[in-house]
Amino acid sequence: MMFLSPNQPDSSNRPVRSAIPSVALIAYMVFWQIAPRIREERLWLVLLSTVLSLALSVWVAAAVAARLQRVQSALILTLGCAALVIPLRIMFAAGRLVTPWVWMIRVPGLNELVFMLFGVGAGVLLSRIVRSLNMIPPIAVVLALVDIWTVLLGGPVQRVLSNPTPAAEKLAEAMTVRLPSSTAGAAPMAVAGFADFLFIAFFVSSLCRYIGMNDGYNRTLLPLMLTLCAYMLVVMVTGWALPALAPMAVVVLAVHRSAFHYSKEERNALGYAAGLILILIVLGFALR
């Protein structure tokens, strides 16, 4: 056990420096101004720019979530972004834009950033239901199972993809965040789900509360970023729709496995659940 004087706080519990989210936000917006303007059809360049945009998006979500320590701040962010972006998304679905929301689409990437921050704020608020560190693995397992069902086993996402209707396509578009990439046109090639950013924020915020800001953010960010970027490459190359919460849960549990403490029976139960997830993934691919 380590003792600290009142003038020497534990550095692991210090909040993430305020400059980090700011730098991430600026880098994200700068990339949005550049990438979609590059008219390029070479596959490797499109893949590279899309992966970079996803990495920046994950960085923004994790950095902002780690920085938001107060419920009031998360609530203000969530409500403010919701007031800005929800009416705009409804207008997009209806095919009609009105002022004052129309100004948001004049800045490339601003609409996507605000929608992403809406998810981040909601994820931070949702993380307050976690009452102990040991609650995180069961929640991660449940989320992975739900996401696998949604995408691979006849859930809403799979139904929309297999039998698209104009209304369903508009709804799906309204619930995604476009990723800027170099392409033959101005439209980005790939998208990420709103829930992906919500649960990135959920996990990072929960981890920061219980194992400290530096461990919860620093140790999680790079593995999560690399895993999701590799996952995106698979999606883009194969054209498959894959559940993103499953690898997200694996990263969180693998990176912080030493922080969770369970009895033998509890570990066995989690192991069975992990095996069930693997079986469901294989089954989902077999039924394609």
Between residues 245 and 75, which one has the greater pLDDT?
A: 75
pLDDT tens for each residue of 91-138: 877 777 777 777 878 888 898 999 999 999 999 999 999 988 888 988
Q: Per mean pLDDT, which range of 3-17, 154-168, 230-244, 273-287 is the poorest?
A: 3-17
Q: What is the DSSP letter of 183?
A: B
Neighbours of 214 (CB within 10 A): 17
Model pTM score: 0.83
Per the CB < 8 A criterion, the answer to whether 67 and 204 are in contact is no
Q: Which pLDDT score, from 0 to 100, does residue 145 have? A: 81
Per the CB < 8 A criterion, the answer to whether 224 and 74 are in contact is no
Q: Which pLDDT score, from 0 to 100, does residue 160 have? A: 63
Bridge partner residues of 190 (DSSP)? 179
State how far the Cα of 136 lies from the Cα of 140, in Å rounded to an integer.
Answer: 6
Q: Per mean pLDDT, which range of 42-46, 163-167, 190-194 is the poorest?
A: 163-167
Count CA within 13 A, CB hemisphere, residue 179.
26
Q: Which pLDDT score, from 0 to 100, does residue 168 have? A: 65
What six digits make up the tokens of 53? 């945009």
Highest-scoring range by mean pLDDT, 3-7, 193-197, 200-204: 200-204
Per-domain residue ranges for the chain?
18-286
Sorting pLDDT into bands at 50, 70 and 90, what band is 186? very low
Between residues 156 and 105, which one has the greater pLDDT?
A: 105
